[in-house]
Chains A and B, each alone.
Chain A
Amino acid sequence: MTASSIQPENDVSWRDTVAQSALRLPAIVSLFIWSIVPLLMTIWFSFRRYNLMEPERTGFDGVGNYRYLLSDPSLTSAIGNTVLLVCSVLVITIGLGTLLAVLYDQEFFGRGIARVLVLAPFFIMPTVSALLWKNMMMHPDYGFLAFLMRSVGLKPVDWFAVAPLTSIIIIVSWQWLPFAVLTLLTAVQSLDSERKEAARMDGANAFNIFRYILLPHLERAISATVMIETIFLLGIFAEIYVTTSGGPGFASTNLSFLIYRYALLEYDIGGASVAGLVAIVLANILAFFLMRSFARNLDV
Chain B
Amino acid sequence: MSSKKLRRKLLMTALGWAVALVISFPALWLVLTSFKTETEAISRIPHILFRATLENYVAVQERTTYFHFAGNSVIVAIGSTILALALAIPCAYAMAFMPTKRTRDTLLWMLSTKMMPSVGVLVPIYLIFREMNLLDTRTGLLLINALLNLPIIVWMLYTFFKEVPREVLEAARMDGASPLRELYDLLLPLAMPGIVSTSLLAIILAWNEAFWSLTLTAAKAAPLTAFVASFSSPEGLFYSKLSAASTMAIAPIVILGWLSQKQLVRGLTFGAVK
| Same assembly | yes
Of B50-58, B164-172, B189-197, B225-233, the segment with at least 4 beta carbons within 8 Å of chain A is B225-233
CA distance A286 to B116 in the complex (A): 11
- Chain A residues positioned under 8 Å from B208 (CB to CB): 123-126
Query: Could you tell me if B123 and A263 are in contact, using CB atoms closer than 8 angstroms?
Result: yes
Using known A-B contacts A104-B16, A135-B239, determine if residue A260 contacts B119 with beta carbons closer than 8 Å.
Answer: yes
Task: Give the residue of A113, A182, A235 whose beta carbon is less than 8 angstroms from that of B117.
Answer: A235
- Chain A residues positioned under 8 Å from B258 (CB to CB): 116, 119, 123
CA distance A235 to B209 in the complex (A): 11
Q: Which residue of B lies closest to A43 (CB)?
A: B124
Task: Give the residue of A1, A106, A115, A259 whose beta carbon is less than 8 angstroms from that of B176.
Answer: A1
A27 at the interface (CB under 8 A from B): yes
14 contacts between A and B (CB under 8 A): A1-B176, A26-B87, A37-B124, A103-B19, A107-B12, A110-B17, A120-B27, A126-B210, A142-B41, A174-B26, A182-B265, A183-B273, A259-B119, A264-B126
Using known A-B contacts A107-B9, A123-B208, A221-B269, determine if residue A259 contacts B122 with beta carbons closer than 8 Å.
Answer: yes
Query: Could you tell me if A256 and B117 are in contact, using CB atoms closer than 8 angstroms?
Result: yes
Query: Given A28-B91, A135-B237, A225-B273, 20 other A-B contacts at CB below 8 A?
Result: A35-B113, A41-B121, A100-B19, A107-B12, A113-B20, A120-B23, A121-B26, A123-B257, A125-B228, A126-B225, A132-B29, A136-B239, A183-B265, A235-B119, A237-B214, A238-B229, A243-B232, A256-B117, A287-B112, A299-B271
CA distance A12 to B127 in the complex (A): 45
| A122-178 residues at the B interface, CB under 8 angstroms | 122-137, 141-142, 144, 147, 150, 174, 177-178
Using known A-B contacts A107-B9, A179-B268, A256-B211, determine if residue A118 contacts B20 with beta carbons closer than 8 Å.
Answer: yes
| A217-240 residues at the B interface, CB under 8 angstroms | 220-221, 223-225, 228, 231, 234-235, 237-238
Nearest CB of chain A from residue B273's CB, rounded to whole Å: 5
CA distance A73 to B215 in the complex (A): 25
- Chain B residues positioned under 8 Å from A136 (CB to CB): 26, 29-30, 33, 239, 243
Task: Give the residue of B20, B253, B273 whose beta carbon is less than 8 angstroms from that of A117.
Answer: B20
Query: Could you tell me if A241 and B214 are in contact, using CB atoms closer than 8 angstroms?
Result: yes
CA distance A120 to B29 in the complex (A): 13
Total A-B residue pairs with C-beta atoms closer than 8 Å?
300
A-binding residues in B (CB < 8 A): 9-10, 12-13, 15-17, 19-21, 23-27, 29-30, 33, 41-42, 44-46, 87-88, 90-91, 93-95, 98, 100, 103-104, 106-108, 110-128, 147, 150-151, 154, 176, 178-179, 204, 207-208, 210-211, 214-215, 224-226, 228-229, 231-232, 237, 239, 242-243, 246, 249-250, 253-254, 256-258, 261-262, 264-265, 268-274
| A1-46 residues at the B interface, CB under 8 angstroms | 1, 16, 19-20, 22-24, 26-28, 30-31, 34-35, 37-39, 41-42, 45
Nearest CB of chain A from residue B224's CB, rounded to whole Å: 7
- Chain A residues positioned under 8 Å from B27 (CB to CB): 120-121, 124, 132
Task: Give the residue of B121, B214, B261 whose beta carbon is less than 8 angstroms from that of A42.
Answer: B121
- Chain A residues positioned under 8 Å from B20 (CB to CB): 113-115, 117-118
Query: Could you tell me if B116 and A280 are in contact, using CB atoms closer than 8 angstroms?
Result: yes
CA distance A125 to B226 in the complex (A): 10
A277 at the interface (CB under 8 A from B): yes
A108 at the interface (CB under 8 A from B): yes
A201 at the interface (CB under 8 A from B): no
- Chain A residues positioned under 8 Å from B270 (CB to CB): 224, 298
CA distance A1 to B20 in the complex (A): 61
Interface string of A169-209 (1 = CB under 8 A from B): 00000100111001100110010000000000000000000
- Chain A residues positioned under 8 Å from B250 (CB to CB): 123-125, 128
A75 at the interface (CB under 8 A from B): no
Nearest CB of chain B from residue A99's CB, rounded to whole Å: 9
- Chain A residues positioned under 8 Å from B116 (CB to CB): 35, 39, 280, 283
